[in-house]
Amino acid sequence: MSTFQRHRVTPWVLMAPQLIIVLVFFFWPAITALRQSFYVQDAFGLGETFAGLANFTRVLSSQSYHEALFNTAIFSVSVALGAMAIALLLATMADRVLRASRAYRTLLIWPYAVAPAAAGVLWMFMLDPTLGVLSRALEALGVHWDYRLNGHQAMALVIIAAIWQQMSYNFVFFLAGLQGIPASLLEAATIDGAGPWRRFWTITFPLLSPTSFFLLVMNTIYAFFETFGTIDTTTSGGPGGATRTLVYKLYQDGIVGLDLGGSAAQSVLLMLMVGLLTLVQFRYVERRVQYH
């Protein structure tokens, strides 16, 4: 790429807005969190003393952190697998009906635009213990439904709302991936006598694996962070912490509980987890690029 070489100031003028915003509103907070994670504030917030890894050991050894970690794992895995499985099924069907696929795409992508918090309210209404359509169906089946008292049911509620919202994102990518699979491969398999079921598992599914892997990472990140609104509007992390995820705990400890050192340590741990995911993602993308 040829470039403007003789301009010394112009590139800095162009870079300045983004650099300043990133430095002030990303690096400054991130570095503050890193620093605070090694300090303990005194009770009045006036002074602080260096505490080494004390914040980390306190967080990592606390029962409620283990619970939040466990909840996050259950929640993320359920949301990722659920949203991807439904999306893959619907995208495969939409890919099959060719011309109509655009119409179905319109009918299936709009939940992406619904706020996670609003998705939570919609499903909270569907599953309201007294008025909800689904809770009545469940009662008729003999399931006593009250997510405000039953932790497992509360978790099911936020998982369903999150799957509903995230499915459309996965659908767009799976449909794009399916439409990128060369027809000649599938034709060849058909001539060899492979039925649709076999064609899917031996050709389509393996060829979609880059898409699936990418979506797995994106869904995990979605479940980790963007579902804060879903959880806050519906269960507020309850009952008894049954839907308290890592981000929800971070919010409760840091913003509500004003535990600076502990929440900073939690921030740093979350950054490490996401950093690791990103690294895996980039490694994988690089490898994929080399194959082409």
Partner 1 sequence: MRYHRPGLDVLAHTILIIGALVFMLPVILAVLASTQTPGALFSGTLPLWFGASGLDHYLTLLSEPVRGIGVPAWQLMLNSLLMALGIAIGKLTIAILAAYALVFFRFPFRRCCFWLIFITLMLPIEVRIVPTYGVVADLGLLNSYPGLVLPLIASATATFLFRQFFMTLPPELMEAARVDGAGPWRFFIDILLPLSKTNIAALFVIMFIYGWNQYLWPLVAMSSADNATLVMSLKRLTISQDGTPPWHLATAMTVLSLLPPVVVIVIMQRWFIKGLVDTEK
Q: Minimal distance in Å, beta carbon 64 to partner 1? A: 17
The stretch among 55-63, 75-83, 110-118, 202-210 that binds partner 1 (CB under 8 A) is 110-118
Among positions 180-239, residues that touch partner 1 (CB under 8 A) are 183, 186-187, 190, 196, 214, 218, 221, 225-226, 228-229, 232-234, 236
- Applying CB under 8 A, among 66, 148, 198, 283 the residue interacting with partner 1 is 148
* Residue 119 · residue 230 · CB < 8 Å: yes
Tally of CB atoms within 10 A around 210: 14
Note the Cα 76 to chain centre separation in Å: 7
Among positions 7-26, residues that touch partner 1 (CB under 8 A) are 7-8, 10-12, 14-15, 17-19, 21-26
Among positions 259-288, residues that touch partner 1 (CB under 8 A) are 260, 263-264, 267, 270-271, 274-275, 277-278, 281
Residue closer to partner 1 (CB basis): 33 or 154: 33
Q: Minimal distance in Å, beta carbon 100 to partner 1? A: 7
Among positions 41-80, residues that touch partner 1 (CB under 8 A) are none
Residues 6+ apart with CB under 8 A from 77: none
What is the pairing mode between strands 39-41 and 48-50? Answer: antiparallel
Residues in binding contact with partner 1, number by CB under 8 A = 103
User: Residue 69: what are its φ and ψ, rounded to 5°?
Assistant: -65, -45
Type of residue found at 269 = L
Tally of CB atoms within 10 A around 171: 25
**CA geometry: angle 166, 169, 174, nearest 5 deg:** 120
Q: Minimal distance in Å, beta carbon 282 to partner 1? A: 9
